[in-house]
Amino acid sequence: MAALPYASVVTSSDLERSPDHSPHARARSSRIRYYQEIGRLLSIRRGLYAVVPEHVDAATYKVDPFLVAASIAPDAVLAYHTALEFHGKAYSSFHEFHALSQHAVRPFKFQSQQFSSVKFPQSLTQQHEEHFGVQETQRDGVVVRVTSFERTLVDVLHRPDIAGGWEEVWRSLESIEFVEVEQVARYAALLANARTIAAVGFFLEQHRQSLMIDAAMLEPLRQRRPKVPQYLDRTARKGGKLVSGWNLLVPPAVLTRSWEEPA
């Protein structure tokens, strides 16, 4: 019986490339069943498996959820709140993991964690810039692609709805000590969304001192701010205080960081 590949999470294709390389589908299926029966493989979902280390009880083995999310599609990129968690910058830990992918992946649950994919933003796809600011690393034999601090900062301000909401986004981003503002501005421009550009500029301006940002560095963002006021929260229909420098209507809770007030 062929040895298992050295990786914590593997696909059916990985198993089919094992040393005996049997051409028969029945033999490959039999190999997968064999390793499942002896407790060396856990089925995550169809075509995706976790490799259980030798002498470890499969019933209690906890699979790294980042490796699962990174393996849900061939082009998967950890993003949004999942990227914040991967980088150790999330204010809260979630049980939901998101990966960017061009493939439609049906959401699924494994070991009490929820996994789903998000399509790459259309503006990036049109410009063939889906992988701008994507970093690659190896983790337990699995290739993990994840958005950088700079891209993640923009992404969560662009889609706070899949990053835990404004309080979670603000608190998480405040733990980042340094960003390349030029990279942030370049990526925000690629998204081609004036509201997002204003949100990014507003956040950076609020944190100029801690991030050591010169006012002039924000000008490329300011030049692309909305021509008329827009709500920071795109679901809002009223309320918010106008921050004229960014033509942005900001909820009072975000403007004053009301969550920091003592109980």
What is the residue-wise DSSP string for the chain?
-PPPPSSSEEEHHHHHTSTT--S-HHHHHHHHHHHHHTTSEEEEETTEEEEPPTTS-TTTPPP-HHHHHHTSSTT-EE-THHHHHHTT--SS--SEEEEE-SS----EEETTEEEEEEPPPHHHHHTT-TTTTEEEEEETTEEEEEE-HHHHHHHHHH-GGGTT-HHHHHHHHTT-----HHHHHHHHHHHT-HHHHHHHHHHHHHTHHHHT--GGGGHHHHTTS-SS-EESSTT--S--EEETTTTEEE-HHHHHTGGGS--
Work out whether the CA dihedral 259, 151, 230, 94 comes out positive or negative: negative
Which range is least confidently modeled, 30-34, 89-93, 179-183?
A: 30-34
Whether 246 contacts 224, CB under 8 Å: no
Taking the complete model, does pTM exceed 0.95, yes or no? no
Mention every residue, 6+ apart, whose C-beta is less than 8 A from residue 18: 2, 3, 4, 5, 31
Under the banding of pLDDT at 50, 70 and 90, the label for residue 14 is: confident
Mention every residue, 6+ apart, whose C-beta is less than 8 A from residue 82: 66, 69, 94, 97, 98, 99
Whether 151 contacts 143, CB under 8 Å: no
Residue-wise pLDDT for 163-192, tens only, equals 999 999 999 999 999 999 999 999 999 999
User: What's the pLDDT score for residue 260?
Assistant: 72
User: What's the pLDDT score for residue 15?
Assistant: 78
The mean pLDDT value for 86-92 works out to: 96
User: What's the pLDDT score for residue 150?
Assistant: 96
